[in-house]
Structure 1
Amino acid sequence: MRRSIASLVLATGLVLAAPALADAPPAETLPPAPAPAAAPVAAPVPQGQPRLVLAISIDQFSADLFAQYREHFTGGFARLLQGAVFPSGFQSHAATETCPGHSTLLTGVHPARTGIVANDWFVTGIARADKQVYCAEDETDPASTSDSPVVSPRHLKAPTLGDLMKQANPAALNVAVSAKDRAAVMMSGHVADAAYWWLGKGFTTYKGRALSPAAQRENEDAGKLIAQGAPELPEPAWCGAVDRALPLGDFSIGTYRFPLAPGDAKTFNRSPRMDAVTGDLAVRLVDEMGLGRDAVPDVLSVSFSATDYVGHAYGTQGVEMCVQLAQLDATLGRLFDALDQRGIDYVAVLSADHGGTDAPERQRLQGVPEASRLDPALESGALSEAVSRQTGVKAKSGDLFYGAGSSGDIWLADGLSRQDAKKAIAALVAILRANPQVAAVFTAEDMAKVAVPTGHPQDWTMAERVRASYDPERSGQVLMMTRRGVVPGTAPRLGYTATHGSPWDYDRRVPMLFWRKGMAGFEQPAPVETVDIAPTLAAMIGISAPQGTWDGRCLDIDGGPSDTCGK
């Protein structure tokens, strides 16, 4: 490494010593370490380029959740609210999933250009029985499977900000950490100096790379916490309004507070404690790698995944999400305080890969009578059977279609004659259009006629939203968009009661918050896009790119007379 390694004990101690959210003490993370020998020097109001870009993603953090809880934030969110606040940011495309959304955040282009059209897509000619390819895998590696992928950025077609920074100056450091591999990969890109994600009982990294001492120490301390267990997390007083049980068959949601049984790594992974260790490792990497300590700007991408895990398991409107966001607010506060204590001049941006919606059973109790779960007739098996019955066209083996079951792509099985393929697609389109849960259906031929959208994303047509995440090399032959309020999944199950993935604004609209010490803050409700983040940050650190590199535009994020876009 090109920089000296700071004390890991120092990193741990500073993270834990920072003040927590008043109503919600921080989740148990690591045992406190001795205080540093000398107090860190506070940074003056910075001038010129920041030394560190801190790019934060909160998985499944919709603009609706931001609006609902922002008045209660007193930790890290409160700091960001003093900066440039764009409450109507858009993941403008229709494929509102984790991998496509993360692929836009630091590339500045839509999924149609990143090539990341979904979390998974289907390649019907591949040798695998399931025909499924993961967005962040190297499927050419014999050891890789769709269930246990060899993680790789090979499918990402666009450079990230970190890639461009290293191209401009190889001394720049590009580092990422997340609970999810696809988040770390899509935010760091092709040339990451370090990238870590959680697997099983600890953080791991790319095949062939060794865990650094910082990651090893984090795994040791997290392992101790998992082994000993922990009590329920505290519930802030303002969570009482959403602390109500919602029965869903043989289980209920709405009142869970994340107790940790000794040895339960799976529960740990899907709780606010996962965000806490993600933030802890980020700080340890700052110290280990010397991020933000010299004249060459670095980038640290941190994706917090627990909001997504909580949203899927318990929905968005129970006490679980309220406790999660209170804990995340404290985790963000500790991260920012740790950077402050080290005197690092950084610019922070926070956004999300997509939004989300609540369990339809609770939505129907709260003024959304049309909320429903997916019609089983829209799943791949049922559609394959219906089309085969109508047309006589059958796949050589397995289903005729892959990927159906929610808004998004449907792929046709390999090996059909051109005539049979055409017949099957025509029958499929007719069946979909006749289903009352389907809002729109497009074919690959339809998409070829749609121009790449521009202008305010809230005004885009359905076809334009789909076009923004359509890649002719990877997208399906048919694209189905379900109606507003239709939640994927035909029935709730323990650990999966709500989700995202639709073309509607509750899944597309996310907050975008920028902060740097000394900047003049403001709030701007006009719609912006997540593809605006990369060109905005690039301008701040002096990275230029050829015209056409970005789909987005630079945002002037200082409300004062200075122009951060350099115009």
Structure 2
Amino acid sequence: MRSRHTLVLFLLLGLFRTLHSQPAVAPPKLAVIIVVDQMRADYIDRFQRDWSRGLKRLITDGAWFRNAAYPYLGTVTCPGHATISTGAFPHVHGIPANQWWDRDAGRQMACTEDPAVTNLGYDGPGQEHNSGYRLKVPTFADVMRTERGAHVVTLSVKTRSAIMLAGHGGDAVTWMSEPLDTWLTSTAFARALVPEVKTFIAANPVDADFGKSWTRLLPASRYRDPDDDQFERPPPGWTQAFPHAFNGTAGKPDASFRVQWDISPFADAYTGRMAAALVETMRLGRHDTTDVLGVSFSATDRVGHKFGPRSQEIQDQLARLDRTIGDLLDRLDAAVGKNQYVVALSADHGVTPIPEQLQRAHLDAGRVNINDIVARIESKLGPALGAGAHVAKLDGRDMNLYFLPGVYQKLVASPALLADVVEAIESVRGVRRVYRAEQLRSVPAAGDAWLRAAALSYVEGRSGDMVISVRPQWISSAEAATHGSATSDDQRVPILFMGNGIKPGRYDQAATPADIAPTLAKLCGITLPNAEGRPLTAALR
């Protein structure tokens, strides 16, 4: 009798688990992840009155999580996209930065670099070698593809953005080469060029935009900031003021033209058109499962680095992106069916304003001198360890400090010398704190929020021997503006959902971009094995 009751109990428990994993409503036909690279959370409050199409529709008809932020230090593109796609933070998904010092190779290694694969060029020779194999956990798209047979399409101008949204496979994973001279995929994702992608690129050459000009979309009175700020750093061939012509520096569609095109809304418009075309030609959303589309729009990041977040260029870029996303949603309505798909939109990081603009307003801001940090370290280590270099690499883009082989071990063995080096680094203007590797190997549950942020970004074997955090409103880059800190400028981003299974509204609960993939997974009836985020059930029907 007892065994029969036990059997019934197990059957009921199994039924409960099955029902618990199933979505409350029919799964969407298509799950869409949109990343707006470098979109600060406050851009919605500042600029939404300019929007009437895609961004406006997402805010009005969707669920807007207004209190969303990354909890970690390394707020840059590759970790951000990996966090969105996996539901995990860098210490779990394995991507601490856009690049890191490979101790064995003795050089910088890109987050998507993979010598075992070959890139395939659509409109030029294949260059570089890229895949998602450095990602340590599966993405939402990976699980949908392997467990549900989903068709997966991701694309971006940036290599790391397209690949991190896809993960370890996909039907069409597409990006531009670093010199911006050809669209690419790799043998990690395809045995040959994808015909639908090849057809679109052949019919829509980027060079068709040569000779055009980026002009202001809105009436002059609508712009909040001055047009011509002396601290903006436009690319060669442009001034700080509108209009910005796509003529290159030599009057022909060469590399300088491609750089100008890349730092403009035209790059996003092209990406949006390609995404819509691939949905139609690859029949996404019309298979017997939920397909996955990942689109990362890179131009807001490119523009923000050159002109800063307090510029007419950023305001205009977002007004034009509103139209681009509107066109994409319209074509999804036609191809898949309105309310038959779900969209999640977020950003991979925010951005800190141009320090010189902040200084002009008498705020504590500035640029950390990387060479000064290295010089102070060497001045401490030379007398103790001998003449010559001891620092292998300090990259201002992520502030990970790597010592030459054996040096850090000697520091750890000499606490007084180690303390001297830490003190020397922290004495540099703009540096807030130095964290040692041994402090970051476990994530504290509470307490020091800055230490926790650094630990969430730490990946053993990839992160530096020391990690340097800068003070709020300080940066360590030659760009006009940048990101990569554990401050609200860089951590706070929007999270928006719209479509199938979503309850529209404004939600003030705390959220992180790691919640996006688990929320989509719940809608699709799957489980992400390594997710640290949780489904945002308040916005689910």
Query: TM-score if structure 2 supplies the norm length?
Result: 0.84
Q: Distance in 2 between matches of 1:203 and 1:514?
A: 30
**Letter of the structure 2 residue corresponding to residue 154 of structure 1:** Y
Within the alignment, does 1:162 sit opposite 2:141 as a pair? Answer: yes
- Alpha-carbon distance change, 290 to 279 in structure 1, aligned in 2, over 3 angstroms: same
Show the counterpart of 2:536.
555
Show the counterpart of 1:523.
506
- Alpha-carbon distance change, 198 to 478 in structure 1, aligned in 2, over 3 angstroms: same
Deviation by residue 1:279-326 (Cα, 9 ceiling, x = unmatched): 111111112211001230011000000000001111111111111111
Q: Is the 8 A contact 2:231 2:354 kept in 1?
A: no
- Alpha-carbon distance change, 231 to 399 in structure 1, aligned in 2, over 3 angstroms: same
Identity of aligned residues (%): 31
Show the counterpart of 1:340.
333
Show the counterpart of 2:404.
413
Show the counterpart of 1:235.
217
Q: Distance in 2 between matches of 1:368 and 1:551?
A: 40
Question: What runs of 5+ residues in structure 2 fail to find an aligned partner?
Answer: 1-23, 120-126
Show the counterpart of 1:138.
114
Q: Is the 8 A contact 1:374 1:406 kept in 2?
A: no
Deviation by residue 1:245-267 (Cα, 9 ceiling, x = unmatched): 11149989752343212512221
Q: Is the 8 A contact 2:495 2:513 kept in 1?
A: yes
Within the alignment, does 1:49 sit opposite 2:35 as a pair? Answer: no
Equivalent of 2:86, from 107, 111, 114?
Answer: 107
Q: CA deviation at 1:488?
A: 1.6
Q: CA deviation at 1:364?
A: 2.6
Within the alignment, does 1:292 sit opposite 2:273 as a pair? Answer: no
Q: Distance in 1 between matches of 2:387 and 2:110?
A: 26
- Alpha-carbon distance change, 174 to 394 in structure 1, aligned in 2, over 3 angstroms: farther
Within the alignment, does 1:544 sit opposite 2:527 as a pair? Answer: yes
Within the alignment, does 1:196 sit opposite 2:187 as a pair? Answer: no
Q: Is the 8 A contact 2:118 2:128 kept in 1?
A: no
Within the alignment, does 1:400 sit opposite 2:391 as a pair? Answer: yes
Q: Distance in 2 between matches of 1:442 and 1:550?
A: 26
Q: Is the 8 A contact 2:86 2:514 kept in 1?
A: yes
Within the alignment, does 1:174 sit opposite 2:165 as a pair? Answer: no
Show the counterpart of 1:481.
469
Deviation by residue 1:97-118 (Cα, 9 ceiling, x = unmatched): 1011111001010011011011
Show the counterpart of 2:16.
none
Within the alignment, does 1:324 sit opposite 2:317 as a pair? Answer: yes
Show the counterpart of 1:120.
99
Q: Is the 8 A contact 2:63 2:498 kept in 1?
A: yes
Within the alignment, does 1:464 sit opposite 2:445 as a pair? Answer: no
- Alpha-carbon distance change, 196 to 368 in structure 1, aligned in 2, over 3 angstroms: farther
Show the counterpart of 2:6.
none
Show the counterpart of 1:26.
none
**Letter of the structure 1 residue corresponding to residue 492 of structure 2:** R
Q: Is the 8 A contact 1:226 1:265 kept in 2?
A: no
**Letter of the structure 1 residue corresponding to residue 211 of structure 2:** G
Superposed, 1:220-299 pairs within 5 Å as: 220-223=202-205, 225-226=207-208, 228-237=210-219, 239-248=222-231, 254-261=240-247, 262-263=252-253, 264-299=257-292
Equivalent of 1:213, from 195, 201, 204?
Answer: 195
**Letter of the structure 1 residue corresponding to residue 87 of structure 2:** G
Q: CA deviation at 1:438?
A: 1.5
**Letter of the structure 2 residue corresponding to residue 347 of structure 1:** V
Q: Is the 8 A contact 1:218 1:277 kept in 2?
A: no
Q: Is the 8 A contact 2:515 2:536 kept in 1?
A: yes
Query: TM-score if structure 1 supplies the norm length?
Result: 0.81
Q: Distance in 1 between matches of 2:47 and 2:538?
A: 23
Matched residue of 2:97: which SS? Answer: coil
Q: Is the 8 A contact 1:84 1:515 kept in 2?
A: yes
Q: CA deviation at 1:428?
A: 2.6
Matched residue of 1:106: which SS? Answer: helix
Matched residue of 2:537: which SS? Answer: coil
Q: Is the 8 A contact 1:412 1:477 kept in 2?
A: yes
Question: What runs of 5+ residues in structure 1 fail to find an aligned partner?
Answer: 1-45
**Letter of the structure 2 residue corresponding to residue 556 of structure 1:** T
| C-alpha RMSD of the superposition | 2.7
Q: CA deviation at 1:68?
A: 1.4
Q: Distance in 2 between matches of 1:217 and 1:470?
A: 42
- Alpha-carbon distance change, 378 to 529 in structure 1, aligned in 2, over 3 angstroms: farther
Q: CA deviation at 1:141?
A: 6.6
Equivalent of 2:364, from 352, 360, 370?
Answer: 370
Show the counterpart of 2:496.
513
- Alpha-carbon distance change, 232 to 554 in structure 1, aligned in 2, over 3 angstroms: closer
- Alpha-carbon distance change, 68 to 422 in structure 1, aligned in 2, over 3 angstroms: farther
Q: Distance in 1 between matches of 2:441 and 2:207?
A: 53
Matched residue of 1:67: which SS? Answer: helix
